[in-house]
């Protein structure tokens, strides 16, 4: 099939749900015939072999006029003539996605990469997405040295790496110059491993990532007190920034609020960054910096108190683009919840609201009191009615960090639906000064 294929693009990944070495050998045998001129290059139709399993139906793609360069879709048409005209000896392009998750490198991938590396003048390997999971680091290094890293657009690392390991990975990261999305998940680096040279070796690589748009780091304890080292190396404006479960300092958040790269931020998630001992103004300034552009805001498990929430509410009320806001895992009173609903009522795009159950829902021992919670839920629904807007909020029933998604998502939402948007109550300055008090609730 490979030798006789009459179209520009062959999306074989859609036929290989579980690829293995035998399949690859058959494919590469066909390519050998094409590349060694058993099929004359000027008569050759096939220029793109796609081994990614995109989940799309092979038979709807088989004619091959597809945009093979897209990282998210293969359905945009391109001209077959433009792919062939004037470049009869251009290398054949092979597209793959890599997920390194076995104790030893997958036999299929190992054979494929080595075969292509031996024919690098005839074949151009394009890998847009790389995921690294449980695999010995020495194997990762050997594998990545065989690849053209400059084609990568998304890189996700789900490994528990020490800082010394991360610094060894750093030179490879610096070669991934086209990367747009970088995710470091569960990189639980020891908080006691403080080696400045290794931190600099890693953070300095961001100077080379000129296309970075999404940056996500979970448990990067080595960033405490030195977040500015990454921030000043960012040369592009970020669209999404996630820093989760990290003991940042007040100085770190100050540097973040001053960073030019967040001026167009659409997504900001600082869940698990405890701010209990920070001045309220620090978080307020940060929200003011992103207020004009932010769509999604996550402040779960930040140990935010009533006073800190109230201090940032004026800035929050200016986030007119906000679509999703989450405060789960913080311990807030009913009074603070009332003020929160008031200040967010004027946000026209806000449709996903995830909040903690009020502090009064729990006994002094931290036990959830279902009857009390039901009273408070009724009170919150009355507030929504007074505000006069169609709105749904979700409450988390756990006051503790890392609350169960099952507990959260199976709770009944608090919703208010009005008959017509014409009856929406305007939120004037005077209205924002109203204080809600419900007998028996607060």
pTM for the full model?
Answer: 0.82
pLDDT of 415 over the 50 cut: yes
Which long-range contacts (C-beta less than 8 Å, at least 24 apart) are formed by 377-380? 377/412, 377/414, 379/334, 379/436, 379/438, 379/441, 379/442, 380/337, 380/341, 380/414
Q: Rounded to whole angstroms, how far apart are CA atoms 244 and 216?
A: 8
Residue spans of alpha helices (H) in 64-218: 80-84, 107-117, 137-144, 163-175, 196-203
Residue with tokens 């050759």: 44
In the chain, pLDDT over 90 holds for what percent of residues?
A: 43
Q: Report the Cα 212 to chain-centroid distance in Å.
A: 12
Element (H, E) at 383: helix 370-387
Lowest-pLDDT range of 30-39, 146-155, 237-246: 30-39
So what's the pLDDT on residue 56? Answer: 59
Pick 41 or 172 by higher pLDDT.
Answer: 172
Q: CB of 283 within 8 A of CB of 314? A: no
Instruction: Give the pLDDT confidence score for residue 47 in this predicted structure.
Output: 82
* Residue showing tokens 């045998």: 29
Residue 16: how many other CB atoms lie within 10 Å: 16
Residues contacting 7, CB < 8 A, separation 6+: 45, 46, 62, 63, 64, 65, 80
pLDDT value at 244 more than 50: yes
300, 327 Cβ separation under 8 angstroms: yes
Rounded alpha-carbon distances, angstroms, from residue 145 to 92, 139, 149, 158, 187:
21, 10, 8, 20, 22
Across 101-110, 169-178, 281-290, 417-426, least confident range: 417-426
Nearest of 307, 383, 374 to residue 345 by alpha carbon? 383
The model's confidence at residue 30, banded by pLDDT at 50, 70 and 90, is confident
User: Per-residue pLDDT tens for 82-137?
Assistant: 444 444 456 888 888 888 876 555 677 777 878 887 887 888 888 899 999 877 88
Q: What is the pLDDT of residue 413?
A: 86
Listed range (160-164, 175-179, 185-189) with the worst mean pLDDT: 185-189
When pLDDT is cut at 50, 70 and 90, the band that residue 26 belongs to is confident
Range of 6-15, 226-235, 422-431 with top mean pLDDT: 226-235
Checking if the pLDDT of 410 tops 70, the result is no
The mean pLDDT value for 281-296 works out to 96
CA distance linking residue 180 with residue 238, whole number of Å: 9
pLDDT exceeds 80 at position 17: no
- What's the CA gap between 259 and 262, in Å, rounded? 6
Q: Quick check: 288 pLDDT over 80?
A: yes
Backbone angles phi and psi of 427, in degrees to 5: -95, 90
**CA quadruple 163, 164, 165, 171: dihedral sign:** positive
Of the segments 55-59, 341-345, 367-371, which one has the largest average pLDDT value? 341-345
- pLDDT of 61 over the 70 cut: no
Higher pLDDT, 67 or 303: 303
Quote the strand ranges of 19-162, DSSP E: 48-50, 92-100, 123-132, 154-158
pLDDT at 102: 66
Please give the share of the chain, as a percent, with pLDDT higher than 70. 76
Calculate the CA 407 to chain-centre distance: 23
Least confident of 40-44, 156-160, 183-187, 219-223: 40-44
Structure tokens at 21: 């070495």
Identify the three-state secondary structure at position 130. strand
Mean pLDDT for the stretch of residues 280-308: 95
Distances (CA, A) of 401 to 271, 305, 363, 397, 405: 10, 14, 17, 11, 11
- Contact residues for 279 (Cβ-Cβ < 8 A; gap 6+): 250
> With 50 as the cut, is the pLDDT of residue 423 above it?
no
Q: Is the pLDDT of residue 387 over 60?
A: yes
What was the pLDDT predicted at 86?
42
Going by pLDDT thresholds of 50, 70 and 90, the confidence category of residue 420 is very low
Asked which of 41-45, 183-187, 348-352 is least confident by mean pLDDT, the reply is 41-45
Task: Examine the pLDDT at 28 and tell me if it is beyond 80.
Answer: yes
Closest to 112 (Cα-Cα) out of 22, 230, 5: 22
pLDDT digits (tens, 9 = 90+) for 353-378: 999 999 999 998 888 899 999 999 99
The overall average pLDDT reported for the chain is 80
pLDDT at 333 over 90: yes
CB atoms within 10 A of CB 418: 16
Is 407's pLDDT higher than 50? no
**Among 97-106, 223-232, 424-433, the least confident range:** 424-433
> What confidence score (pLDDT) does residue 43 get?
64
Per-residue confidence at 412, pLDDT binned at 50, 70, 90?
low
More confident residue, 165 or 312: 312
Query: Residue 224: is its pLDDT beyond 70?
Result: yes
């Amino acid at each position: 099939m490979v030798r006789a294929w009459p179209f520009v693009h062959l999306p074989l990944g859609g036929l290989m749900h579980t690829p293995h070495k035998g399949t690859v050998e058959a494919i590469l045998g066909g390519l050998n015939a094409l590349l060694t001129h058993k099929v004359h290059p000027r008569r050759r139709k096939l220029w793109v072999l796609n081994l990614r399993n995109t989940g799309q139906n092979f038979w709807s793609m088989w004619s091959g006029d597809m945009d093979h360069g897209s990282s998210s879709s293969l359905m945009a048409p391109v001209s077959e003539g433009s792919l062939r005209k004037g470049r009869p000896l251009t290398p054949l392009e092979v597209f793959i996605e890599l997920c390194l998750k076995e104790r030893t490198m997958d036999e299929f991938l190992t054979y494929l990469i080595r075969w292509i590396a031996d024919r690098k003048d005839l074949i151009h390997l394009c890998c847009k997405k790389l995921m690294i999971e449980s695999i010995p680091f020495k194997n990762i290094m050997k594998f990545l040295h065989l690849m053209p890293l400059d084609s990568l657009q998304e890189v996700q690392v789900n490994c528990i790496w020490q800082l010394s390991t991360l610094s060894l990975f750093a030179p490879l990261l610096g070669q991934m110059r086209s990367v747009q999305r970088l995710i470091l998940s569960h990189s639980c680096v020891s908080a006691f491993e403080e080696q400045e040279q290794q931190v600099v070796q890693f953070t300095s690589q961001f100077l080379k990532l000129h296309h970075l748009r999404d940056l996500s780091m979970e448990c990067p304890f080595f960033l405490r007190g030195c977040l500015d080292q990454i921030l000043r190396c960012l040369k592009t404006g970020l669209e999404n920034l996630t820093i989760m479960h990290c003991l940042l300092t007040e100085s770190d958040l100050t540097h973040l609020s001053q960073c030019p790269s967040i001026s167009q931020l659409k997504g900001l998630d600082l869940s698990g960054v405890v701010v209990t001992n920070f001045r309220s103004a620090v978080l307020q300034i940060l929200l003011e910096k992103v207020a004009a552009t932010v769509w999604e805001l996550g402040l779960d498990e930040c140990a935010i108190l009533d006073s800190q929430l109230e201090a940032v509410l004026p800035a929050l009320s200016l986030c007119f683009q906000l679509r999703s806001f989450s405060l789960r895992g913080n311990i807030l009173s009913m009074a603070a919840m009332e003020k929160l609903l008031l200040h967010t009522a004027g946000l026209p795009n806000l449709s996903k609201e995830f909040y903690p159950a009020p502090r009064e829902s729990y006994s002094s021992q931290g036990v959830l009191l279902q009857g009390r919670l039901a009273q408070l839920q009724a009170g919150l629904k009355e507030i929504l009615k007074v505000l006069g807007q169609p709105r749904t909020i979700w409450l988390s029933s756990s006051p503790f960090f890392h609350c169960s998604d099952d507990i959260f998502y199976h709770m009944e939402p608090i919703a208010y639906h009005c008959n017509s948007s014409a009856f929406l109550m305007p939120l004037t300055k005077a209205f924002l000064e109203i204080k809600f008090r419900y007998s028996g609730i607060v």
